[in-house]
Amino acid sequence: MKRRKFIHKLGFAAGVPIAFQGVPIQVLANNKPLQRLAAQSTNDNVLIILQMHGGNDGLNTFIPLGNYDEYYSRRANIAIPYKSGNRTLIPLDSTVADADQVGLHPDMQAFKDLYDGGKAAVFQGVSYERNNGSHFRGRDIWFMGGDYDDYYSSGWIGRYLNQEYAPLQYPEEFPTENMPDPLALEMGQDVSLLFHQTGNIPTSISLPSDPQSIQNLINGLSGFSDEGIDPRGFPPEFLNNSPYGKEMDWILGLEDKSEDYIAQLVKVYNKGNETQVDYPEKYPFQNRASSNPLSNQLRLIARLLDGGLKTKVFLVKIGGFDTHAEQTESYDPTYGSHAKLLYYISEAMKAFNTDLINRGLHTRVLTVSMSEFGRRIASNGSYGTDHGTGGPVMMFGAGVNPGIYGTNPDMSQGNVQMQFDYRQLYAGILKDWLGVDQSVITNDIFFRDFISGPNPNGGNYEPLDLIKSTITGTDEFLKSKFNIQSVYPNPASKYAQAQILVNDYQNVRVELIDLNGRVVQQITRSVKPGKHLFTFQLDQTPPGIYFVKAKSEKLDDTKRLIIRK
């Protein structure tokens, strides 16, 4: 293939994606300083940013239980049922304060499972000052890491890289032996501001999705032979240092870049094992033709990481959240386009977590969601919601400190009020997950202390303990939500009561077991979230040492009981 033909297929616009394994990918332009950054990183942690394109309706994602009646009155035509109906909301955490309790959309059971397992968190009311509810402006602000009146040409990740390592000439000095992989990969058709650096624009190309076809195309690239001017592959010398020559050098460099990165991605992909996990594709509750758009993206990331990819940051995308109309079905608010999207995210993230566990990678990967704005508190007459301001952010991974951060919004307002500036979350991730020095975050990324500094609009930014200090194999969070709280009286003679705490609807089996492991008594009951008493009558039970064992899908706890006569 002639180089001119190759370039013509690429197009002159930088940012055309690589389609790898059927997933369009943007490759962040990689230069020597950036390679040094990845090579010198103090950890091998990976960050995934999950973009929910269009503005997610947070109030039908995390339904306020403490003021549910007000919630229902403001959006009766789309409100998720609480205590009646075939499909009702899922209480997320019955152990938090009443004012903070939320319910999940009924299609988010997978999120509930991740949360109970200590691998998910939600942050209420995340926004920025003077959020104007604009799609394009909102996305730019979240990606650039600025205020409502800032217009940076760089993103918050790119700005850190640009500051920490002064860029050398692009694209001559990349990749290197120590860092053969791109520093960041973006899934989808667009080049986001997130990865841009001042004076150094991310560059991508579009290539076939099949690994062998990609390799064949790479091997078939024949170099510059345009009309016999220079068959060795170089433009004429008189173009050197001219504006045209510099632009041509940049464009011609795309071929070498594509060879290096695609060949490397193929190599890494082939080294990784195929997943043994079923990523749910179809929405099971209605006849919907579409497939889960996140499954392929996350499945690909898991395999690339398994193959040894050193890429530090990924951006994955799911669209369809601009739900002005038909957010829910008119006949049932628990169905509709929004329900399907929430199911896709929850199920894909649960499958991804299982995939990472199977590959031994789960302690390295953290995912944080973002959406350009939330929706207004009141619904509209088209079974939808209009552009709002604040909304929830979800975080996933073995390293996240699970919990509900913030409280339910004031339902008397027109919009969800801001409780956290979005940069508080990003600053915490940079500092505690990616190991970025706090002074760099304050002075060179966000130009303000979002970790412990003053809020110019009053008060301080609350320090957020987002990341676990130590990730262990024992899940203390799960045990704190599902356990035997007490066995009383103990010692006992006539009866003993076991108080059981569960944080989900469960079929609980409680057994009284003797020292030989024989089950003396057994009680099985279906329970809802909360505390429950299980009573054993001991009149016919011989004295001795026994064990009370409680078992369910998420509960596994044992306490000792002494019986005396």
Write out the two tokens for 541.
């039970």
**CA–CA distances in Å: residue 161 to residues 298, 481, 503:** 25, 41, 43
CA dist 169 and 166 (Å) reads 10
Q: How many residues does the chain have?
A: 565
Give the per-residue pLDDT at 235.
63
CA dist 182 and 31 (Å) reads 9
Give the per-residue pLDDT at 223.
42
Q: Which single residue is written with the structure tokens 């190599």? A: 267
Give the per-residue pLDDT at 493.
96
- Looking at the chain, which residues constitute the CATH 2.60.40.1930 domain(s)? 482-563
Q: Where are the alpha helices (DSSP H) in 48-178?
A: 68-74, 109-116, 135-144, 156-164
CATH class of 482-563: mainly beta
Give the per-residue pLDDT at 6.
40
Give the per-residue pLDDT at 452.
83
Give the per-residue pLDDT at 289.
61
Q: Give the chain's radius of gyration (CA, Å).
A: 27
Task: Please identify every stretch of the chain with a pLDDT value under 50, giving residue numbers as ranges.
Answer: 1-16, 29-40, 164-171, 201-214, 217-218, 221-232
User: Vertex 275, ends 271 and 278: CA angle to 5°?
Assistant: 170
CA dist 361 and 283 (Å) reads 28
Give the per-residue pLDDT at 211.
43
Sheet strand arrangement including 544-551 = 519-527, 506-514, 544-551, 556-563
Give the per-residue pLDDT at 27.
60
CA dist 35 and 307 (Å) reads 19
Cα dihedral sign for 224, 226, 232, 237?
Answer: negative
8 A C-beta contact, residue 253 and residue 171: yes
Tens digits of residue pLDDT in 467-498: 998 887 667 899 999 999 999 999 999 999 99
How would you class 149 by CB atoms within 10 Å of its CB: exposed for 0-12, middle for 13-18, buried for 19 or more?
exposed
Give the per-residue pLDDT at 10.
38
